Amino acid sequence: AQTVTQSQPEMSVQEAETVTLSCTYDTSESDYYLFWYKQPPSRQMILVIRQEAYKQQNATENRFSVNFQKAAKSFSLKISDSQLGDAAMYFCAYRRRSGGSNYKLTFGKGTLLTVNP
């Protein structure tokens, strides 16, 4: 079974600084997706960024970028120029690309990010 581990229950960052959230995962599959979701206090889960395992290039979305290390099964999220609105719970998630049970997302336990003004 696939597992996703976020080793940092809480992180804090100063406004305008950079922070990196860690995620490792375990799978025997070679073709899959990895995601970072953000859950602000409003509780609405929002997709931040997605990485396809077959792509070597790290995904980037504006101030958000990932460091995907497939051999090490590591998938960290870097937030640059942190803003107060980035404060939220961040979840790392995994999904198989195809085959049985490819429908479901497996989530880590989350990292609560605080942004200090």
Partner 1 sequence: DVKVTQSSRYLVKRTGEKVFLECVQDMDHENMFWYRQDPGLGLRLIYFSYDVKMKEKGDIPEGYSVSREKKERFSLILESASTNQTSMYLCASRTQGTEAFFGQGTRLTVV
Query: Which residues contribute to the site for partner 1 (CB under 8 A)?
Result: 4, 6, 9, 35, 42-45, 47, 50, 91, 101, 103-110
Place of tokens 């597992």: 3
List of E strands, the chain: 3-5, 10-14, 19-21, 24-26, 32-39, 46-52, 60-61, 64-69, 74-79, 88-96, 106-107, 111-116
User: To the nearest whole angstrom, how small is the minimum distance from the Cβ of residue 99 to partner 1?
Assistant: 13
Q: Which is nearer to partner 1, 11 or 105 (CB)?
A: 105
User: What minimum distance in Å lies between the beta carbon of 46 and partner 1?
Assistant: 8
Residue with smaller CB distance to partner 1, 4 or 19: 4
User: In terms of CB distance, is 71 or 98 closer to partner 1?
Assistant: 98
Taking the complex as a whole, the smallest distance from the CB of residue 42 to partner 1 amounts, in Å, to 7
Question: Is-contact 114 11, C-beta < 8 A?
Answer: yes
C-beta of residue 20 within 8 angstroms of C-beta of residue 30? no
